[in-house]
Structure 1
Amino acid sequence: MTRLRRMLVLLAALTLAACSQAPAAHEAGQAAAPRAGFPVTIENCGRKLTFDRPPAKVVTGYHPSLETLLALGLGDRIAGRTNFAESAFLPGQKEQYDQIPEISDTIMLPQKEVMLAQGADFVLDNAMASFDAAGGYATVEELDAAGSPVYIMGGWCSPEEVLEFTIDDTFTDLRNLGAIFGVPGHADKLISELKGRLADVRKRVAGRTPVKVLATDGGTGPVNAYGGFGITNQMITLAGGVNVLADVKGDYTEVSAERISATQPEAILVSDYATLRGEAMPSSPAKAADAFAIARNSPAAKDRRYLAVPVAAQHPGYRNILAITDIARFLHPDAFAR
């Protein structure tokens, strides 16, 4: 089975980005009275999206897009979602997930005809992979023309922009979504809470020696690992670590076993797919064992020190900040003892 991150990043290169103005989000059902604060116009992937009123019939793609809307209290707006068989859910979100109609049995949006038939007035996803015409999907342009404007989280609009991601992009998404859905106050409150978490982590790890970290998604030669660009690298740095592959240009990339062996990590992060297991998707302990075997003389291998990081946290979404706290606790447990 093709690995999730590789599929999302590589397919993004195949998608034609829309360059023209997207139409205003269309209404689902009977016309509603204009709301204060609207129309709202935001930019995403080089396009301007204008909304005359808050979306009411939303389709979400991969897990972080849905859970970000749930964190904003917008679960009642979601009319369809994809399947997250591999995901670990945040507290209270699995129950909401189960109540939302499933329109695709994979993490990808459904094929073109099914997708267009949803009549969505907003589509939220984490990458461009689900809008690739070559894969049989409705394109961004086709959905825009149908009144279903697309928003890509984290600015993951192209492979280059995946590498340019910063944690500030997460706050931008929350602010934009708050404006689009007419809940700016809720968005500001969530942003304040998350920034408070980050400030607390920075204070706790300040002055401590950064821990040398290897982040891997398994493999023995080559190894699927995370280089010095993108979300995972930033989470390591903000959590008080230093990425041993910081000089590798890439986010999710392949690195030789020899290169991994030479890094001498003190701790290892492993992408965790929770319930998706089998020969094609080893468990987190199995991935960690492979990494320990490759870097067998490293401090991490000697201490068997690793942390499973939910793969959903390694894609744009508000869980990025939650994961930074978890990683910081793992790297600097003494800093959280008080």
Structure 2
Amino acid sequence: MRRLLALVAALSLAACSPAPATKQAAAPQAGFPVTIENCGRKLTFDRPPAKVVTGYHPSLETLLALGLGDRIAGRTNFAESPFLPGQKEQYDRIPEIAPTIMLPQKEVMLAQGADFVLDNAMASFDAAGGYATVEELDAAGSPPYILGGWCSPEEVLQFTIDDTFTDLRNLGKIFGVSDRAEKLVSELQAQLAEVRKRVEGRTPVKVLATDGGKGPVNAYGGSGITNQMITAAGGVNVLADVKGDYTEVSAEKVSASQPEAVLVSDYATLRGEDMPSSPAKAAEAFAIAKNSPAAKDQRYLALPVAAQHPGYRNLLAITDIARFLHPDAFDQ
């Protein structure tokens, strides 16, 4: 999925113009209508969505975390990362409408008759790729919501952890489960507060986050979601001075960065010439930064790539990263 960022960065929000968000409801429901803002559009819902289509898996995970699996009528394929506990069974019960992580092509997508679409990248709404645009889906009564504010290349770089909390609260309002959303937000905030407490006062660990490459290296710079997770977990990104999120960095720059630990984007079940394993990608990083503490200790963590996209999982991943960077802080 991370390789989609190159495409995401090339897209604009030109297709996103304000439009009615839902089909006319037969009768108003208590607590509705609800209006929220996403990608510069105001979306108004007269009732909770009942026929939802989800795109890349973190969007599905987020709805499942809110207990909304019964509202999902169609999903895309997911084979990149291990499933979160208890979610594989729910995933299997939902009809698959696309064999890839992308939403289906325009005709198939519009034929779903969805009353809500949730995704976390603009790539699935690119007319040039044969997809239904945001404007077309709005007009069809299938309004898309983009997680994390990843509505334009600039906004991808501006992501903060708080954006995920905003998404959870917005989805709570849209589906009429605000109490449930606030409970989940409180639980996640408590987990993050516990992480901060445990790593407070400890020297930040110097971290290289990479998706492989012998030069240039596919790596994560000082903006965006991965950089945010590293910082929240008690680390410091050795490429923090590099502009961008997912970007190419010279081997010389990586060699000079002297990381103490390496995070490797892990695609789990996807393997092949263009998708090397996490150990192979870690070995590439160690070979480039061969005199670094990370290389000497062979210290790396395989980070599920799904956690490096907006959604519920990125909040959970912060604890995993913190345990990796500061294991002694969690022995107490």
TM-score (norm 2): 0.98
Q: Does 1:289 align with 2:299?
A: no
- Which residue of 2 is the match for residue 136 of structure 1? 130
Of the three residues 40, 47, 51, the one matched with 1:46 is 40
CA contact (8 A) 2:114 2:141 kept: yes
* SS across alignment from 2:145: strand
Measure the CA separation in 1 of the matches of 2:239 and 2:117. 35
- Which residue of 1 is the match for residue 55 of structure 2? 61
Of the three residues 7, 17, 35, the one matched with 1:10 is 7
Q: Does 1:255 align with 2:252?
A: no
CA contact (8 A) 2:11 2:152 kept: no
Equivalent positions of 1:269-288 (< 5 A) are 269-288=263-282
- Which residue of 2 is the match for residue 35 of structure 1? 29
Q: Does 1:146 align with 2:143?
A: no
Q: Does 1:76 align with 2:70?
A: yes
Q: Does 1:25 align with 2:22?
A: yes
- Which residue of 2 is the match for residue 182 of structure 1? 176
CA contact (8 A) 1:24 1:52 kept: no
Measure the CA separation in 1 of the matches of 2:144 and 2:321. 32
Q: Does 1:227 align with 2:221?
A: yes
- Which residue of 1 is the match for residue 104 of structure 2? 110
- Which residue of 2 is the match for residue 85 of structure 1? 79
Gaps of 5+ in 2: none
- One-letter code aligned to 1:151: Y
Q: Does 1:200 align with 2:194?
A: yes
- One-letter code aligned to 2:227: N
Equivalent positions of 1:230-249 (< 5 A) are 230-249=224-243
- The range that moved more, 224-233 or 33-42, is 33-42
Runs of 4+ residues deviating >3 angstroms: 15-20
* SS across alignment from 1:123: strand
* SS across alignment from 1:81: strand
Measure the CA separation in 1 of the matches of 2:111 and 2:73. 12
Q: CA RMSD in A?
A: 1.2
Of the three residues 93, 98, 103, the one matched with 1:99 is 93
- One-letter code aligned to 2:212: G
**Cα deviations by residue, 1:185-226 (Å, 9 ceiling, x for unpaired):** 000000000000110000000000000000000010110000
1:34 offset after TM fit, Å?
2.5
1:18 offset after TM fit, Å?
4.2
* SS across alignment from 2:112: coil
Tell me the percent identity. 87
Measure the CA separation in 2 of the matches of 1:230 and 1:43. 21
Of the three residues 298, 301, 311, the one matched with 1:317 is 311
Aligned length: 332
Measure the CA separation in 2 of the matches of 1:259 and 1:288. 16
Measure the CA separation in 1 of the matches of 2:3 and 2:64. 26
**Cα deviations by residue, 1:46-91 (Å, 9 ceiling, x for unpaired):** 0000000000000000010000000000000000000112221100
Measure the CA separation in 2 of the matches of 1:226 and 1:147. 37
Measure the CA separation in 1 of the matches of 2:111 and 2:77. 18
Measure the CA separation in 1 of the matches of 2:13 and 2:221. 26
1:19 offset after TM fit, Å?
4.9
- One-letter code aligned to 1:162: V
- One-letter code aligned to 2:267: Y
Gaps of 5+ in 1: none
1:8 offset after TM fit, Å?
3.4
Measure the CA separation in 1 of the matches of 2:13 and 2:331. 50
* SS across alignment from 2:98: coil
Measure the CA separation in 2 of the matches of 1:14 and 1:208. 40
